[in-house]
Structure 1
């Protein structure tokens, strides 16, 4: 039985010799992708046919490290340019079928595998490597997408914490919507940084627009108020609704030491402006 290295070189040479028929067969196997090859090239500078040849080279020559690195590169590129997993899966499976089609032709011509053991060994090697590529591709695609999602969410959350200066010494922070454990961290970061940058004396936090304040973040909110006080700034809370007050009281939270409370934002601004 020939070694996998020798078989790989024979398959590589055969595909190079029949490059045009190989590409024609590949395009016929990937009907949906073949019509989008130019669009994908223009959209993400991704040459599918060139990359198919690269993948096959790494697969049949057992270039494990290069294969994993290539899968990472491809996963990030497809995620960055919002190309769908459906197209990638169809393309790689078409590469698999086409590769085996030409391995079959080569075997008929030159009997490269010699025996059944050789066929099984070659099959396992090729399919395992293609699966390894797919697994690493999907892993890096998903990881990049998740990172982008978190960055976009952070940007949105920062925009949802607008600290509005109403005078040289007073700013207003109107909080709207639900406040979860992630958003409370954004609020803490932005509040303390803004106080440090602007050196305001009073921060009015209007809670009338809060739809929900999760119980486990109420304690974090108390810490924000303590931090505001430590920064030499006075915190004033307005718009406290009965349901929110009950939740705070039942949680054992008291704001008297770190913040002043007022009924409405309007009456507070009249006092401080």
Structure 2
């Protein structure tokens, strides 16, 4: 291997302090601010991989590099550093490297072949770092999205306890097959955890009741009956009632009441709450 490559690799390793100062100056020109101490330390560790690649014909310790990327991405995410700024700050390393070799370049100490070799060695490394840092952030965004979806789903099927053994499940919005499955799973789970004997399902917030929705509701009510929970459906608006009758559907197998207030009054709960 040419002595030029050895010289370049060793000088990069030996010039960490100078490179750190150069990187700080480059960051000051950015409006986004500076990286934390931890990220600056991780960025300087990248110089070890660059030196290694120059000294070993572009070969890196892949597992070590991937671990470095994972750790750096995790720190960036934890500290709220944007992916774009993290990638930009890391790419400053290339500029800093060219800077410390400026005198050598002006003196033409290196041949064109050497410069080309350095570029061909460094560029793939930075491409890998940029790509895999994106993967780390995408993974966290996906996890956050899934957590948010879980919260939304939980809020979309709120079983609200009223008194011992009695609760209300107010449904709002359309009920497709997926949501019906969620309603069934949540109502069964909550009925068991709350030791319910009676669950009122209020559908005043459901805009449309068709044959599919009706079937889904039947399934939920039947499942609850199997675990010993009596179910009453409330909140059937006049237009929904007309639509149901017009389609020939019957709710004779399900206990229904015009409103939740009426249903609670029929079991004496309204009077009990008023006295309380």
| TM-score normalised per structure 2 | 0.75
User: Secondary structure of the residue that 2:163 maps to in structure 1?
Assistant: coil
Q: Does 2:124 align with 1:128?
A: yes
Distance (whole Å) between structure 2 residues aligned to residue 74 and residue 245 of structure 1: 60
Distance change >3 Å, CA 254–CA 110, structure 1 → 2: farther
Q: Give yes or no for contact 1:79–1:145 (8 Å, CA) kept in 2.
A: no
Checking the alignment, whether the CA contact within 8 Å between 2:167 and 2:200 is kept in structure 1 is: yes
Instruction: Give matches, 1:180-191, under 5 Å.
Output: 184=180, 186-191=182-187
Is the CA contact (8 Å cut-off) linking 2:27 and 2:33 kept in structure 1? no
Say whether residues 1:166 and 2:157 are aligned partners.
Answer: no
Confirm or deny: 8 A CA contact 1:162 1:173 kept in the other structure: yes
Counterpart of 2:274 in structure 1 is: none
Q: Which residue of 2 aligns with 1:53?
A: 44
Q: Corresponding residue for 1:79?
A: 77
Pairwise CA distance, 1:163: 1.7
Tell which structure's C-alpha radius of gyration is larger: 2
TM-score normalized by the length of structure 1: 0.76
Structure 2 counterpart of 1:263: 258
Shift of 1:132: 0.6
CA-based RMSD of the aligned residues comes to 3.7
- SS of the equivalent of 2:164 reads coil
SS of 1:30's partner is: helix
Number of corresponding residues: 261
Q: 1:111 to 1:189 in 2, by over 3 A?
A: farther
- Partner residue in 1 for 2:16: 19
Report which stretch shifted further, 212-221 or 10-19: 212-221
Q: CA deviation at 1:85?
A: 1.9
C-alpha deviations, 1:235-254, integer Å up to 9, x for none?
Answer: 22211346666887899986
1:227 to 220, 223, 226: 223
| Distance of 2:215 and 2:75 partners within structure 1 | 42
Give the direction of change, closer, same or farther, for the CA distance of 1:251–1:11 in structure 2 (3 Å limit): farther
Q: Residue deviations 1:148-178, cap 9 Å, x none?
A: 2321331343245332222333211122355
Task: Give the stretch that moved more between structures: 118-127 or 131-140.
Answer: 118-127
Query: Equivalent residue for 2:86?
Result: 88
Distance (whole Å) between structure 1 residues aligned to residue 77 and residue 240 of structure 2? 42
Aligned pairs for 1:142-157 (under 5 A) are 142-157=138-153
Give secondary structure in 1 for the equivalent of 2:41.
helix
1:101 is displaced (CA, Å) by: 3.3
For 1:200, what is the secondary structure of its paired residue? Answer: coil
